[in-house]
């Protein structure tokens, strides 16, 4: 694992471009791909009867995007995702109880959504320091990003969410927004963390 700044997977692929324009195109296309993948992942959601927070594939896409894109591109992909939602595009998870469009950011899941750019940045920052090259360190980088999502999400849910009712407090927020998701998220993370190291190995063999 490198102690200093390292090349991320997407930047390594871009460096293979025949020109600066090609390299820039690869980076932009990769950013947009992760944004679209986040939108698709939002549509794969499972509502749970005991909480307003649905089970989705979004956190793993956010973290995997940060791991592959790096801090700035990974964060930018999620800022673009949130901007699309604020603009009123149907990019957030479908829900009969959560507010639509930009109001979703003020609802109980708003903290999780607003944490996505920061989580991608943290995971990408670690990837830029070589955490994306091996499975174990990829898990650690993604765990750091997941901790950001949980921390911001549960704080917003417990103290600030605009539900029209008194804030439930952090204890209730942990019960509704963290505990039910730990096991599924860890399983998804354990699977997703192998993707980028595997692609690095393929890239190395193609030299």
pLDDT band at 1 (very low <50, low <70, confident <90, very high): very low
pLDDT value, residue 2: 44
Task: Kindly report the number of other CB atoms within 10 A of residue 168's CB atom.
Answer: 17
| 66-78 pLDDT per residue, tens | 999 999 999 999 9
Rounded Cα distance, 103 and 122, in Å: 26
| 84-98 pLDDT per residue, tens | 999 999 999 887 777
| 105-130 pLDDT per residue, tens | 988 899 999 999 999 999 999 999 99
Rounded Cα distance, 119 and 98, in Å: 23
Instruction: Flag whether pLDDT at 26 surpasses 50.
Output: yes
Instruction: Flag whether pLDDT at 27 surpasses 50.
Output: yes
Contact partners, residue 50, CB within 8 Å, separation at least 6: 176, 180
Which carries the bigger pLDDT value, residue 2 or residue 146? 146
Show the domains of the chain with their CATH numbers: 9-205 (1.10.1760.20)
Proportion of the chain above pLDDT 90, given as a percent: 68
pLDDT value, residue 3: 47
pTM for the whole thing? 0.91
| 73 touches 124 (CB < 8 A) | yes
Q: Both tokens of residue 20? A: 């600066």
For residue 185, give Cα distances in angstroms to 1, 3, 175, 203.
Answer: 25, 28, 15, 28
């Amino acid at each position: 694992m490198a102690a200093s700044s390292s090349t991320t997977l997407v930047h390594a692929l871009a460096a293979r471009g025949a020109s600066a324009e090609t390299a820039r195109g690869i980076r932009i296309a990769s950013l947009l791909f992760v944004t679209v993948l986040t939108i698709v992942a939002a549509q794969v959601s499972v509502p749970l009867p005991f909480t307003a927070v649905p089970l989705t594939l979004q956190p793993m896409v956010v973290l995997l995007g940060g791991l592959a894109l790096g801090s700035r591109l990974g964060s930018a992909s999620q800022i673009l995702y949130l901007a699309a939602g604020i603009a009123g595009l149907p990019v957030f998870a479908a829900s009969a109880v959560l507010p639509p469009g930009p109001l979703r950011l003020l609802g109980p899941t708003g903290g999780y959504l607003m944490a996505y750019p920061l989580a991608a940045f943290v995971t990408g920052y670690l990837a830029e320091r070589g955490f994306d090259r091996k499975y174990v360190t990829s898990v650690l980088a993604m765990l750091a990003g997941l901790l950001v999502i949980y921390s911001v999400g549960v704080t917003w849910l417990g103290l600030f969410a605009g539900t029209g009712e008194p804030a439930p407090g952090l204890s209730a927020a942990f019960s509704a927004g963290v505990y039910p998701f730990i096991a599924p998220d860890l399983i998804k993370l354990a699977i997703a963390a192998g993707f980028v190291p595997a692609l690095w190995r393929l890239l190395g063999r193609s030299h």
